[in-house]
Structure 1
Amino acid sequence: MPAREGAPVIVVMGVSGSGKSTVGARLADVLGVEYAEGDDFHPAANVAKMAAGTPLDDADRAPWLDAVAAWLAEHTEQGGVVSCSALKRGYRDQLRAGVFEAFFVHLAAPRTELARRMTGRRGHFMPPSLLDSQLAALEPLAADENGVTIDATRTPEDLVTDAVAALG
């Protein structure tokens, strides 16, 4: 897919604990565009379900992905960065529906590192017990998808540098 001209529209994706929020906010700051936290688009029922330790299914995710896709579409001119797990190709297709040129930055890390991060954070609704369900659902970026996979075990600054370089 061709790269966008002008301000980029970026989805920082990956499973819980990969650093989406940290990297997404810093990337938006470096690029001078708005950042949106994907978790903020979840309906209260989704948050409650995850907080109770129950994985979301495709039906749960559909309205959330629609809301994230709408945000992306609203930012096609000025650019923007949103964090969103975007675990499956079909979910990314749903996000691309309004913004074909969306660029995906997949933050990937070993399960042990993800679990360590999730166990150490406070105040987040997503329990570490849901990590395996996310990893099972994850479909890495395919060669024909506009994006890059980055080793998320490095510093947020390095990840942002790699993401900016991948944008071209």
Structure 2
Amino acid sequence: MGVAGSGKTTIGMLLAARLGCPFTDADTLHSAANKAKMAAGLPLDDADRQPWLASVRAAIETAQRAGQPHVFACSALKAAYRDALSQGDTAIRFVFLHGSPALLAERLAGRSGHFFNPALLDSQLATLEAPIGALQIDIAAPPASIVTRILAALQ
């Protein structure tokens, strides 16, 4: 979890590969309307996010029924969003990828082909409620090192 540019997809894909399990980027579960809104530089509100969070939760439940680990990348910016995703299930672990606003902005400026408008970074940072009890990882390290640290902490 984390704001745009924190490396959720990159780290999530690497982590899933190391675990030998599936990976899902929750961005793929956004509605066309949410994607268009973000592309236009308009931040999502809680009403926009509610159906999306329900879709992510449904995907989590499907993965749990499959009985194998699964890595999800999701912004999960607020405690209420994380509660909606986990629903009290202690088997769900959150890894908070965080970095300086300058590094995040630099990463977003170099990204192409994504619907997220980099101008929304400030609104995501303002919305972000740092998680309590989540593994917190600074994104300044190389992705492989970050994944190794996550795996060590999750053991």
Q: Same fold (TM over 0.5)?
A: yes
What letter is aligned with 1:157? A
Pairing partner for 2:26 from 34, 38, 44:
38
What letter is aligned with 2:109? T
Task: Give the TM-score taking structure 1 as reference length.
Answer: 0.88
User: Matches of 1:33 and 1:100 in 2, distance apart?
Assistant: 19
User: In the alignment, which residue of structure 2 is the partner of 1:16?
Assistant: 4
User: In the alignment, which residue of structure 2 is the partner of 1:123?
Assistant: 113
Shift of 1:128: 1.2
Does residue 67 (structure 1) correspond to residue 55 (structure 2)? The answer is: yes
Query: For each residue in 1:52-86, what CA deviation from the matched residue of structure 2 results, as whole angstroms up to 9, or x when unmatched?
Result: 00000000001111111111112222110010000
- Conserved 8 A contact 1:16-1:118: yes
Task: Give the TM-score taking structure 2 as reference length.
Answer: 0.95
**Structure 2: tracts of 5 or more residues without a match:** none
- Conserved 8 A contact 1:107-1:151: yes
**Structure 1: tracts of 5 or more residues without a match:** 1-12
Higher helix share: 2
Shift of 1:99: 3.9
Aligned pair count? 153
User: In the alignment, which residue of structure 1 is the partner of 2:144?
Assistant: 157
Pairing partner for 1:25 from 6, 13, 24:
13
User: Matches of 1:39 and 1:151 in 2, distance apart?
Assistant: 22
User: Matches of 2:88 and 2:72 in 1, distance apart?
Assistant: 14
- Percent identical: 50
* Root-mean-square deviation over aligned CA pairs: 1.0
Could you list the runs of 4 or more consecutive aligned residues of structure 1 that deviate by over 4 angstroms after TM superposition?
none
What letter is aligned with 1:162? R
Shift of 1:98: 7.2
